């Protein structure tokens, strides 16, 4: 016989899952967090830790602004330092088409509340002297920055243990069964019982929801990043490009992380992913074009990580339709930036409260008609 021993089971130990587990435990819930590997080592451990408004979709800007403030104050609420550097951010335009794209995207994000303005080439190079002087225009945001992804995972692990969350790392979940009074979470080492459950498995949210008979298509991206050797200071801002194909930041110890959504190869089914030569070279060329001084540095490592994306590129956050007590959180574009605040809002709903900001229920994304979920809806479009 299975006995309920936890108020909440969180399946997936990335930043979203860890944040949900932490806030729920601090609210007085008995929480267990399960992950097939180590905490925050999948997408949350392989990304660049960017905390940006420039690449966040317009509909998520209000959430990202709240979350950015949380990241800056991480030692206060998380209890540990995560290496956050708050700085300005620039998105660059080198062609007429990029100028138009930059203007449209900056306007949409500015309308949503982000402090973004368009600046001339001369002003952009005053803000960031290392820029290629051939740029035509840039958008400038005073709220940007980055965290250290490795330190973040370490900090969350300490905070979760301090909050007495039952951590079940290296515990693959094989299935989930509603019991009428809660859920039985089937693992290779036995059954974990809980009254409520949250699925926070990133690209694996699709097969997780299938355990409950829900078909939510999730696109799997294989994002590729590179890091340089330590070098002298070549930039002091977070730098991107209008197309979204470049994200650059230099960490205090001198390395420069190069990203921007260039794709490697891989499969969610196998869990394997790897870099491609074409993406490494293309991404590096863009980096050198934006910051010419990088030409004198060498790449020391490239790697890949999965990112989940829904059909409308907006999050899947809210109740699972037709399954009382089941929740989902994931597929958030620039999800690292927004994770703490979105988790805060979701936990409010789990506790029976009205969230400070609306959630993003998945009814709109389902392949088949499902019963309506609680009306914590949020509609938004990307421009």
> Which residues, at least 6 apart from 261, have a Cβ–Cβ distance to it below 8 Å?
221, 223, 244, 245, 247
Q: What Å distances lie between residue 159 and 11, 171, 248, 317, CA to CA?
A: 18, 20, 29, 23
pLDDT at residue 373, rounded to an integer: 38
DSSP-assigned letters across all residues of 39-59: TT-SHHHHS--B--SSSS-GG
Residues 6+ apart with CB under 8 A from 88: 127, 128, 140, 141, 142, 144, 236, 237, 238
Sign of CA dihedral 215, 217, 218, 220: positive
Return the number of other C-beta atoms located less than 10 Å from residue 366's C-beta.
Answer: 17
Q: What is the pLDDT of residues 77-122, one digit of tens each?
A: 999 889 899 999 999 999 999 999 999 999 999 999 999 999 999 9
- pTM of the complete model beyond 0.85: yes
Residue 381, pLDDT score: 34
210 vs 215, 216, 266, 348, CA distance in Å?
6, 8, 21, 25
User: Tell me, what's the pLDDT at 5?
Assistant: 86
| Burial classification of residue 254, based on how many CB atoms lie within 10 Å of its CB (0-12 exposed, 13-18 middle, 19 or more buried) | middle
Contacts of 72 (CB under 8 A, 6+ apart): 84, 86, 145
Per-residue pLDDT at 40: 72
| pLDDT for the residue numbered 42 | 66
Contact call for residues 172 and 187 (beta carbons, < 8 A)? yes
Which pLDDT belongs to residue 4? 59
pLDDT reported for residue 148: 85
- pLDDT computed for residue 44 by the predictor: 59
Q: Which CATH architecture has domain 88-144+219-309?
A: 2-Layer Sandwich (3.30)
Interatomic CA distance for residues 64 and 106, integer angstroms: 15
What are the helix (H) ranges across the chain?
15-26, 43-46, 61-72, 74-77, 96-111, 121-127, 149-162, 205-210, 277-290, 335-350
The CATH class given to the 6-45+150-217+312-365 domain equals alpha beta
Q: What end-to-end distance do the CA atoms of the chain give, in Å? A: 53
pLDDT at residue 379 in the model: 36
Whose structure tokens read 């990112």? 307
Is residue 140 a contact partner of residue 117, using CB atoms and an 8 Å limit?
yes
Q: What are the start and end residues of each CATH 3.30.9.10 domain in the chain?
A: 88-144+219-309
pLDDT at 130: 95
What is the secondary structure of 78-123 as a DSSP string? TSS----EEEEEEEEE-SHHHHHHHHHHHHHHHHTT--EEEEEHHH
Whether 216 contacts 298, CB under 8 Å: no
Q: How far apart are CA 154 and CA 157, in angstroms?
A: 5
pLDDT at 3: 58
Distances (CA, A) of 86 to 65, 230, 335: 13, 20, 17
Residues spanned by CATH 3.50.50.60 within the chain?
A: 6-45+150-217+312-365
Q: Which residue stretches of the chain have pLDDT < 70? A: 1-4, 41-46, 48, 367-383
């Amino acid at each position: 016989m299975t006995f309920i021993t936890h108020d909440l089971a969180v399946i997936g130990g990335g930043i979203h899952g860890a944040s949900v587990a932490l806030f729920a435990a601090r609210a007085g819930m008995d929480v267990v967090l399960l992950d097939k590997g180590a905490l925050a080592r999948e997408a949350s451990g392989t990304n660049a830790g960017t905390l940006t408004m420039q690449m966040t979709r317009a509909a998520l800007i209000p959430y990202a602004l709240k979350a950015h403030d949380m990241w800056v104050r991480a030692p206060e609420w998380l209890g540990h330092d995560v290496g956050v550097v708050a700085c300005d951010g620039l998105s660059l335009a080198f062609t007429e088409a990029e100028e138009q794209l930059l203007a449209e995207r900056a306007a949409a994000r500015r309308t949503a509340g982000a402090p973004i303005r368009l600046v001339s080439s001369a002003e952009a190079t005053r803000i960031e002297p290392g820029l290629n002087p051939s740029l035509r225009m840039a958008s400038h945001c005073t709220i940007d920055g980055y965290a250290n992804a490795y330190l973040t995972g370490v900090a969350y692990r300490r905070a979760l243990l301090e909050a007495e969350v039952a951590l079940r790392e290296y515990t693959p979940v094989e299935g989930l069964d509603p019991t009428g009074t809660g859920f039985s979470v089937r693992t290779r080492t036995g059954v974990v019982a809980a009254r409520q459950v949250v699925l926070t498995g990133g690209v694996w949210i699709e097969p997780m929801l299938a355990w409950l008979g829900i078909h939510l298509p999730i696109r799997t991206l294989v994002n590729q990043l590179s890091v340089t050797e330590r070098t002298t200071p070549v930039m002091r801002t977070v730098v991107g490009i209008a197309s979204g194909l470049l994200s650059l930041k230099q960490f205090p110890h001198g390395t420069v992380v190069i990203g921007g959504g260039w794709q490697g190869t891989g499969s969610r089914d196998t869990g394997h992913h790897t870099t491609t030569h074409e993406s490494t070279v293309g991404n590096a060329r863009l980096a050198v074009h934006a910051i010419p001084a990088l030409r004198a540095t060498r790449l020391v490592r490239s790697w890949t990580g999965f990112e989940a994306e829904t059909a409308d590129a907006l999050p899947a956050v809210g109740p699972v339709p037709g399954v009382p007590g089941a929740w989902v959180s994931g597929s958030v574009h620039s999800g690292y930036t927004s994770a703490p605040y979105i988790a805060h809002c979701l936990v409010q709903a789990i506790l029976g409260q009205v969230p400070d900001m609306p959630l993003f229920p998945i009814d709109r994304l389902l392949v088949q008609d499902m019963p309506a979920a609680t009306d914590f809806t949020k509609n938004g479009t990307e421009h």
